[in-house]
């Protein structure tokens, strides 16, 4: 992981918070995480957006570690990988509003399953001759 600069991005209650980004396609280096993850409240808006499959799995491990340390995390995602964090309470947002859901029932999981089973059926509608 690379810090995005030497100066703090945000300062709150006297502590500097530095923005950290993960380069796409680069596995998350879990060896650089602190031995003890600080407990807190984490609000994440699509933290998986630039991540590869492998790095998304690393994000799941980080979220697991945060919760094990007593943290709470709210994560907005379109990733079936991140939505599959064991033990997570899932709320799905859509035209219907917001509802509790199980991972298997999520629209995004069904869409990915259908695409992986037959990508040509999607491309047939998107790519005109």
pLDDT of residue 30: 53
What pLDDT, on the 0 to 100 scale, is given for residue 36? Answer: 58
Q: How far apart are CA 67 and CA 42, in angstroms?
A: 10
pLDDT, residue 128, reads 72
What parts of the chain have a pLDDT lower than 50? 1-24, 26
Nearest to 63 by CA among 42, 49, 78, 90: 42
Structure tokens at 31: 């060896």
What pLDDT does residue 107 have?
93
Is residue 43 within 8 Å of 17, Cβ to Cβ?
A: no
Amino acid 68: pLDDT: 86
Task: Report DSSP letters for 50-98, one per residue.
Answer: T--HHHHHHHHHHHHHHHHTT-EEEEE---HHHHT-TT--EEEEETTEE
Distance of CA 114 to the CA centre of its chain: 21
Residue 71 gets which letter from DSSP?
Answer: -
Give residue 33's pLDDT: 53
């Amino acid at each position: 992981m690379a810090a995005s600069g030497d100066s703090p991005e945000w300062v709150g209650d006297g502590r500097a918070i530095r923005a950290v980004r993960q380069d796409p396609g680069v596995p998350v280096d879990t060896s650089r995480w602190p031995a003890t993850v600080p407990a807190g409240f984490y609000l994440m808006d699509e933290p998986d957006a630039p991540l590869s499959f492998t790095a998304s799995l690393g994000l799941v491990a980080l979220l697991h570690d945060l919760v094990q340390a007593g943290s709470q995390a709210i994560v907005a995602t379109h990733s079936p990988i991140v939505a599959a964090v064991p033990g997570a309470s899932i709320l799905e947002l859509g035209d219907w509003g917001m509802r509790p859901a199980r991972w298997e029932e999520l629209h995004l999981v069904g869409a990915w399953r259908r695409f992986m089973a037959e990508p040509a059926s999607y491309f047939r509608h998107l790519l005109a001759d």
